[in-house]
């Protein structure tokens, strides 16, 4: 009976270490939002014509139908199946220019 209780305790305690290793969704959202806001601050045209930031689709909407797309970076091979925070996001592409052309 004691050995069964010990095994149950070990299983429960080892499972709790995995759940504590991951970031809460709100922390991941804040990390993603900070990356997107930093991108906006580095691109004045996007900042001037900003319409919306969508964390669900990882997209910044600006100007008239312009979108800047972000993607989640891939986990490394060593950490792919391990618990922990999600990899950060990075700029992928935009369907419009990110700089003002000034008629050139």
pLDDT bracket for residue 21 (50, 70, 90): very low
Note the pTM of the prediction, 2 decimals.
Answer: 0.69
Nearest Cα residue to 63 out of 99, 31, 28: 99
Q: Using CB atoms within 10 A of its CB, is residue 66 exposed (0-12), middle (13-18) or buried (19+)?
A: middle
Could you read off the pLDDT of 4-20 as tens digits, one per residue?
Answer: 556 555 555 555 444 44
* C-alpha of 71 from chain center: 8
Q: 């922390």: which residue's tokens?
A: 27
The predicted pLDDT at position 17 comes to: 42
pLDDT at 81 over 50: yes
């Amino acid at each position: 009976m004691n050995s069964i209780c010990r095994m149950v305790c070990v299983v429960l305690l080892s499972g709790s270490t995995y759940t504590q290793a991951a970031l809460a969704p709100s922390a991941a959202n804040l990390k993603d939002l900070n990356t997107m806001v930093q991108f906006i601050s580095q691109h004045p045209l996007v900042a001037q014509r900003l319409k919306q930031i969508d964390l669900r689709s990882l997209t910044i909407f600006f100007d008239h139908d312009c979108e800047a797309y972000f993607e989640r970076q891939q986990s490394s091979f060593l950490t792919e199946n391990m618990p922990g925070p999600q990899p950060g996001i990075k700029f992928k592409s935009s369907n419009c220019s990110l700089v003002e052309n000034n008629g050139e």
